[in-house]
Amino acid sequence: MGITKSDKFTNQQNDLANLFKALGHPARIAIIQTLLKRQACVCGDIVEDLPLSQSTISQHLAELKKVGLIKGTITGPSVCYCINASAWAKAKTEMDKIMSVLIKTPSVC
């Protein structure tokens, strides 16, 4: 059918998947890197940096904002975006939780 059966999985599984999914596009990785590079992080700056149209960038920003990894503050006519450090810390904790076990798992086959 093509619809992801979120209801069949736990909240923990869905949340973690949504977090990974938000980072599962090169443009969104690039946006994060741009936000790191520039301290002043106006939307227009990102559009200048990336080879995508303004509307597409806006969509990607919305997805990152949806999972809370970035936040945007309206400053006059423009919007200042930046990393939401506390959300990243929380995300890292969740990822580390599963990752630290995984790297220690012996390969049985």
Partner DNA sequence: AACTTTTATCGTAATATTACGATTAAATAA
Partner DNA sequence: TTATTTAATCGTAATATTACGATAAAAGTT
What residue ranges bind a copy of itself (CB under 8 A)?
A: 4-6, 8-10, 13-14, 16-18, 20-30, 32-33, 35-36, 39-41, 50-52, 71-73, 75, 80-85, 88-89, 91-92, 95, 98-99, 101-109
Q: How far is the CB of 55 from a copy of itself (least distance, A)?
A: 13
Tell me, what amino acid is at 24?
Answer: G
Closest to 84 (Cα-Cα) out of 72, 69, 99 = 69
CA distance 5 to 55: 29
Q: Does 53 bind DNA (CB under 7 A)?
A: yes
As given in the structure block, the two tokens for residue 63 are: 């997805």
Assess contact for 57 and 43: CB atoms under 8 A: yes
Residues that bind DNA in the complex, under the rule CB under 7 A: 1-5, 21, 24-25, 27, 42-44, 47, 52-56, 58-63, 72, 74, 76-79
